[in-house]
Structure 1
Amino acid sequence: MALGQRSHDQRFFVKTQRRQEVQVLLANLPRYVQHLQQHPHSLLARLLGVYSLRVARGKKKYFIIMQCIFYPTSRISERYDIKGCEVSRWVDPAPEGSPLVLVLKDLNFQERTIKLGAQRSWFIRQMELDTAFLQELNILDYSLLVAIQFLHKDEKDGYHSLFSTLRSLQGASKSEGTGGQNCRMLPNLPNALHILDGPDQRYFLGLVDLTTVYGFRKRLEHLWKMIRYPGQSISTVSPAHYARRLCRWVQAHSE
């Protein structure tokens, strides 16, 4: 089981990986880089490094370092891990007043809405582009991370003037034009690529866990879950179904 830990300043996330997952990452790395060049405002988590470590004569351990989606964390009030399905997608909330920080799941979000206003169309389109890319790689079981921060009054008053001019990210293809890239106005804030502001709330959004291939084992798991949970929405489905379902979830839970 993969384990993760944030850096002391909360900006980076370090996560252990199995050898097979590292092989998937490295095999897909050229296409991952190309996708980010073509779509510089992509919601895909930014992978910063893949490493291995062997202590004495122990087994080699693999880990990745990526940019943390939930940064800065100081005012985040809710965190969710969304897969667009139902089975095993509930987390018991922490008791009121508890210092425990939990990442909730799909069923916890049922009555909530991501209120983005004018930025909703950009968000839906970018989800379509990113999930189509993961489908091409035969990847599934990834998550959309969502965190919510309530804006202060002065931030709400400045909502329409918050955005700076469109940033030209290094490596972006200039020949395609901004329309093909689905670029947007980025807020002048840390971690701008994963932050979208609505009229009343700030959202931290990103796609993570990009290493699960729909191979023989996942196909068997799909059949087993279909038998065990008939008629219910399960996580293990084909990459095409997975991508469509998560995009439908975004459309249904945003305005």
Structure 2
Amino acid sequence: MHNYDPRNLRELFKLDAADYMMSICGDNGLRQISSPGKSGSIFYLSHDDRFVIKTLRRSELKVLLRMLPSYHNHVQLHENTLITKFFGLHRIKLKCGRKVRFVVMGNMFYTELHIHRRYDLKGSSYGRYTSKEKITENTTMKDLDLNYEFYMDRSLRDALLKQIALDCTFLQSQKIIDYSLLLGLHFRAPEHLKLLVGPPDSSYNNENKPTGDGLSVPPTGLMLVTHEPGSVNTAPGPHIRGSTLKAYSIGDREVDVLLPGTGRLRVQLGVNMPALANRKVQQTEPEEVELFEVYDVVLYLGVIDILQDYNLKKKLEHAGKSLFLDPMSISVVEPKLYARRFVNFLEKVFPDP
């Protein structure tokens, strides 16, 4: 196996080299999690779910190799970066003689809580929806499918949007477009999702607790409490980032999130972030007062798909689509505009409390 890494990213992220090799090269093998899409890339999960392995096109390899020194500097300077963690860039030669290039990344959904909803958000609108017939709990939905706004502690929101802006500035400097915010939601009361995806599966049962009448009811609610290092896991992980966050609501002290009936988790940027998910109720007749459903959620998020540069092919694609579509509605726009639209969209997804 050929290793492309010009710098030791695993050391930077405090990842044990032996554990890394056992995860991606162990006897248990890899699990394919998606068939080739438009890009032709195939995604795999390591047997322990810690890492995502993606096959690379030659053009993506060139972008990543060009970007790696700047990427290294960015993640070293910004320990709370939301950008995908790259742990390895490798090439293997198959028995047939074909060479396969692949990158190893942290699995953002390697979490202590079950992920009930997944969204891939770009800030564009053309084609950004999912057919309702195809939605299951494991479906990754898109911008127009998102009907929630997420309200969180003021300091948590400020830290989140500040880092998103910093990461977008970096990606703009590298002439990168087409990236997304991958957002995972853990609902404290997931039973309301039954209307959309059918009966909840057995994974809900891990968090359920019996009541006196024998019914199983998921524990609800969450609260921010002062961080106690001895009470939570503080070890670096494949998707864990940086420092423990501070919350305005408890005097700008570092915080954990306490989930009744489940446990206590360290709050970091993009990891274990508590919020209220507001969804407007669709009313059959106009009413004087708008109604909203409100749910306690824990958010997991990060910036993914950062290997598409604004090359000649993409410039021509933008020019062609702009002839018959609103240029602001399509994903392919120049890097500065892409970054600004992305940030503006996420400011609406995470409104000021």
Q: Name whichever of 199-208 and 235-244 sits farther off.
A: 199-208
Of 197, 200, 223, the match for 2:274? 197
Which of 323, 326, 332 aligns to 1:227? It is 323
Q: Equivalent pairs: percent with the same residue?
A: 30
Q: Which residue of 1 aligns with 2:245?
A: 184
Q: Does 1:122 align with 2:122?
A: no
Matching residue of 1:31: 70
Residue 340 of structure 2 aligns with an amino acid whose one-letter code is R
* Relative contact order, higher structure (CA 8 A, sep 6+): 1
In the comparison of the two structures, how many residue pairs are matched? Answer: 239
Partner Cα separation in structure 1 for residue 322 and residue 44 of structure 2: 33
More strand per residue? 2
Deviation string 1:185-237 (CA, Å, 9 cap, x unpaired) is: 47574895531222521111100111111111111011011113246510000
User: C-alpha offsets along residues 61-85 of structure 1, whole Å, 9 cap, x if unaligned?
Assistant: 1111100112227521100001100
Q: Paired residue for 1:207?
A: 303
Task: State the partner residue of 2:80.
Answer: 41
Query: Is the contact made by 2:130 and 2:142 (CA closer than 8 Å) also made in structure 1?
Result: yes
The answer to whether 1:18 aligns with 2:57 is: yes
1:145 and 2:182 aligned:
yes
Q: What is the CA-CA distance between 1:5 and the residue it aligns to?
A: 2.1
Gaps of 5+ in 2: 1-39, 190-217, 237-241, 247-254, 257-263, 277-295
Return the TM-score normalized by structure 1. Answer: 0.83
One-letter code aligned to 1:148? L
Stretch moving more, 20-29 or 227-236: 227-236
SS of 1:114's equivalent in the other structure is strand
Tell me the CA shift for residue 134 of structure 1: 0.3
1:133 and 2:210 aligned: no
Runs of 5+ unmatched residues, structure 1: 170-180
Superposed CA deviations along residues 20-55 of structure 1, whole A, max 9, x for unmatched, are 211211111111111111110110111011111221
Match of 1:254 in 2: 350
Q: TM-score, normalised by structure 2?
A: 0.61
| 1:70–1:190 Cα change, 3 Å | farther
- What residue number does 1:160 align with? 224
Distance 1:232 1:192 in 2: 33
2:244–2:268 Cα contact (<8 Å) kept: no
- Cα deviation digits, residues 143-173 of structure 1 (max 9, x gap): 110010023787845x2216456x8x9xxxx
